[in-house]
Structure 1
């Protein structure tokens, strides 16, 4: 359809097919190296995919970073990204990584509600501030967690920062992609699920992060959200859609510092 190529990442990244197996291998090695500091498969809902992993620092956690994976709401689970916890862990923060059910078995609105339950479940198991980040579709979901209708005040007041990475902020263009055969979005549903049009947003520090070498559509999506929310806007030089999240592994990166400030 009209915008299929605009939102196609893999076909515009050299060696794209090699990234998923590398992510999986690094994630497994990271989990194996943590031993008892990795709590895996903690349920928050009824289906097998409604579960999250928690990685804890060596000492009492200063707070918790929630990382929400991407995959256009149709692919992956939290287990592919465990290694991205390295940066926050090194700064003394715990990291929680939820999985969720995927389209077309559920709708994007269903996934949003699942992640809201996951954040509440993480909050019940942790103390201190909660910083939320996510990549691509996960960036959309992370931004949606600032909706006061989704997160109760007792939890929302603990949210210290939100950093959507390469987020989808306006879902209406996806109506013009073949992916919508799985999403089954209508115009109104796309508006309702778009962070750009949230009307009752919790005001916390937000940084919208995107790679300079990403597809123009993703640069637009990030810019729209940063402008609408008057948020900080970081365009990471030399980064594309698949490596823009590598900064999560580096405790000294600006991305991790903003999450754990």
Structure 2
């Protein structure tokens, strides 16, 4: 198998620069027009340890979802994804979108810890459990949050701080990345790759719905299918969607994906 071809999504989708530019444009326009927001909330001391929160309205009694961005843990930041809040806010769900430090400047384990810190901050601020969702690398981070032993981090946190997850085009087994150009930037040993692979972690038994595009590589389709089966969740293939267009329905309030995401968030107690 040509693992480079299977996992190099930018090479597989020649039109990706225009799609990513569209994300950036739509996200900036959304931030400029949506008034119920708190930007640049620090969850740590670092420059990129910040999140943006978009609220459905005044007050604070609404479910909260956490969207974790992709980029193979090596690119992008929260500023590309603000517009995804459209699909959540229309159904009364707030959306938090954090940035995180990038590999190889930090380790993947450090990024996981940063996302745990962001989730913990949101719970302390709002007293709510969270739906985690994320794209690509963010799908991996979604699963890692679901698998976290929160009481070991802070005995005051609920054990089920993230009791539901909706990863989109996630990577749940990291070993196949190691021989690729993507893996080179992660600098993982085989042991570290295994320890940071949600596919091999015990299932937390929480609601899980994993989504992947029908036009994605065989490996992405396999990873989504195998991970959902291992954790007792459900898997969905979006017909015709590639690794980049698969994210678009999350910003559309009436899409099936946005409705499923918000229903999962609303079901959390």
TM-score of Structure 1 vs Structure 2, range by shorter chain:
over 0.9
- Give structure 1 stretches of 5+ with no counterpart: none
Q: TM-score, normalised by structure 1?
A: 0.93
- Structural RMSD (CA): 1.8
- Give structure 2 stretches of 5+ with no counterpart: 264-269
Following TM superposition, by how much is the alpha carbon of 1:67 offset from its aligned partner in structure 2, in angstroms? 0.2
- Confirm or deny that 1:192 pairs with 2:195: yes
SS in 1 for 2:3: coil
2:140/2:170 contact within 8 Å kept: yes
Output one character per residue of 1:183-211: Cα deviation in whole Å (capped at 9) or x when no partner. 11111000000001113x43210001101
Following the alignment from structure 2 to structure 1, what is the Cα–Cα distance between the partners of residues 189 and 105?
17
Following the alignment from structure 1 to structure 2, what is the Cα–Cα distance between the partners of residues 144 and 109?
10
Change (3 A) 1:227 1:67: same
- Between the two proteins, the alignment pairs up a number of residues equal to 259
Following the alignment from structure 2 to structure 1, what is the Cα–Cα distance between the partners of residues 37 and 159?
25
Following the alignment from structure 2 to structure 1, what is the Cα–Cα distance between the partners of residues 183 and 163?
33
Give the corresponding residue for 1:256.
258
Following the alignment from structure 1 to structure 2, what is the Cα–Cα distance between the partners of residues 157 and 135?
22
Give the corresponding residue for 1:173.
176
Q: TM-score, normalised by structure 2?
A: 0.91
Instruction: Map 1:54-69 to 2 at 5 A.
Output: 54-60=53-59, 61-69=61-69
1:132/1:259 contact within 8 Å kept: no
2:146/2:164 contact within 8 Å kept: no
2:219 is matched with which residue: 210, 217, 220?
A: 217
2:213/2:241 contact within 8 Å kept: yes
SS in 2 for 1:260: helix
Following the alignment from structure 2 to structure 1, what is the Cα–Cα distance between the partners of residues 81 and 238?
20
Following the alignment from structure 1 to structure 2, what is the Cα–Cα distance between the partners of residues 42 and 59?
17
Give the corresponding residue for 1:74.
74
Give the corresponding residue for 1:108.
108
Following the alignment from structure 1 to structure 2, what is the Cα–Cα distance between the partners of residues 17 and 241?
13
